[in-house]
Structure 1
Amino acid sequence: MDKILKAAKAIALARRNRAPLAALDHPPADEAEGYQVQRALHDLLLPQVGPLVGYKIGCTSQVMQDYIGIPHPCGGSVFQKGVHESGAKLAAADYVRVGVECEIAVRLKRDLAAGEAPFTAEWVGEAVEAYHPAIEIVDDRYVKWETMGAPTLIADDFFAAGCVLGEAVPRSSVPDLKAVKGRAIVNGEEVSHGTGADVLDHPHNALAWLANHLAAEGKGLHAGQLVLTGSLVKTLWLKAGDKVRMELDGLGTVEAEFT
């Protein structure tokens, strides 16, 4: 069995068992190999997570790059069973160590095919149908994530564990995304805030990065897919009983409770 599949199987086993992952016996050598493992992992996980419905982009803000120690964006995936509506009550026990991030999510109205690359922020912005205020759910599935290294974190979908979406806001009525202020409220208390400009200077820059990243692998984005563009705030780690609310000016609010 090749090294890519071995790594994918080790990660899939840990995810199915909700067991913290220690260092892999055969970790991916670099980020390109990390994405190969990620694709192999998806094939193993599909029966339990449902079809791929979109992507998440990690490390798009300075606060997150500093926190994770990776100076550029990284991609992960969003699966059907991980997408919830605002007001969702989710069991904290379904995660190893659950955390949340405050995000602007986009829904695409048309395909962004690999052959159209290179993509610019303006170009991908035209392909957006609507935006959602979003809580990205992340899961620290590691014995110690700080020692795992970017290739392994990428292989395991870069902490992705789903999302909670607020009401869609059509592109025609969306405010200047750069100026959108996001507030993270846990148990009624504001704990953090950021703005759309914190996400690579504009969330569409993150979307363009993802489209170009996928195009380099010969893949495209598709109409109807969801993209979480990156966190406006540093990850907030939660405990059972926590109630979370994200308020994004002009985009609305989204709430979840971890029981």
Structure 2
Amino acid sequence: MATAANTPDNLTEYLLSIRDSRSEPLITVPEVLIPADEHAAYEIQDRVARQLGDIRGWKVGAGSPDAVPAAAPLHAETIFPNGAVIPAEMCRHRGAEAEIAYRFRHHPEGDPANTTRETVLNAIESVHPVIELVDTRFAEPGSQHRLAHLADQQSHGVLIVGDAIRNWCLTDSFSETITVRVDHGKSLEKVARNAAGDPIRLLMWLAGHAVQRGMPFGAGTIVTTGSLTGTLFVPHRTHLSAEFGTSGRVSTFLA
């Protein structure tokens, strides 16, 4: 594996060089490569994003109802439909998280600096159950400074998007009963709540944040809003499913 002795000159160069699980990851990020603050981490995300193709989604989350959210753009090549087989080389670590995502018909209208709850709700097309696979371009999840992981697309690996629920006002945006199954056996069942509280708050923040970064939502943009279950690391050749009390079911097979 890569060490500090053969690290690249900057973090952007490194993140672009580590594209799949067959590459050698960095064990330790030298302090000189760690972004100075969130703004610097997002600049690295932007430089990487320009090289990786079409942005079709975002991930956004926060550690508490009062915490400032954090976000990362998601590319078309990492977004898969319900039931998809995920190629083995896509992820090194495969940390499964059950989440709720929102698909937008257009970017929320009005002043991006003052996005309202109403404009966000009016722009949502549908709600989806999703599974995000957490991964990292570094040797281990959570092994580096938080700003290095933020620059690393906020540890995004793959997003599997379940079927649309268009009458989404009937879903529970604050808590869900979720059953996660690994190889068709029950691994987790809980009433799960988003650590950020109301996910619409996250969407309001993200709408302005995305415009500031020159990446407003296009038609069909999918936004996932943080883990409801914690992270469950699974091996290759695993079938995963998550069933939500009001938001449907999503499944995938990890090759």
- Give the TM-score normalised by the residue count of structure 2: 0.84
Match of 1:68 in 2: none
The counterpart of 1:29, out of the listed 27, 36, 41, is 36
Runs of 5+ unmatched residues, structure 2 = 1-8
Q: 1:130 and 1:115, CA in 2 relative to 1: closer, same or farther beyond 3 A?
A: same
Partner Cα separation in structure 2 for residue 74 and residue 173 of structure 1: 25
- Bigger Cα displacement from structure 2, 74-83 vs 225-234: 74-83
* Contact 1:14–1:21 (8 Å) recurs in 2: no
Q: 1:98 and 1:172, CA in 2 relative to 1: closer, same or farther beyond 3 A?
A: closer
Match of 1:57 in 2: 60
Q: Deviations over 1:22-48 (max 9, x none)?
A: 3155221111100001111112333xx
Letter in 2 for 1:7: L
Map of 1:1-259 to 2, 5 A cutoff?
6-16=10-20, 18-22=23-27, 23-24=29-30, 26-46=33-53, 51-58=54-61, 60-61=62-63, 72-112=68-108, 115-171=111-167, 174-187=170-183, 188-191=185-188, 193-195=190-192, 197-217=193-213, 219-259=215-255
Q: 1:192 and 1:234, CA in 2 relative to 1: closer, same or farther beyond 3 A?
A: farther
* CA drift at 1:238: 1.1
* Identity among equivalent pairs (%): 26
Partner Cα separation in structure 2 for residue 245 and residue 40 of structure 1: 34
- Bigger Cα displacement from structure 2, 153-162 vs 199-208: 199-208
> Cα RMSD between the aligned structures?
2.6
* Contact 1:91–1:240 (8 Å) recurs in 2: no
Runs of 5+ unmatched residues, structure 1 = 66-70
Q: Deviations over 1:153-195 (max 9, x none)?
A: 1111011122111110104563232243223222211325343
Higher relative helix content: 1
Partner Cα separation in structure 2 for residue 109 and residue 146 of structure 1: 34
Query: What secondary structure sits across from 1:106 in the alignment?
Result: strand
* Contact 1:54–1:225 (8 Å) recurs in 2: yes
* Contact 2:99–2:228 (8 Å) recurs in 1: yes
Query: What secondary structure sits across from 2:130 in the alignment?
Result: strand
Partner Cα separation in structure 1 for residue 140 and residue 175 of structure 2: 35
Q: Deviations over 1:115-165 (max 9, x none)?
A: 332224443122111011111122133224434222211111011122111
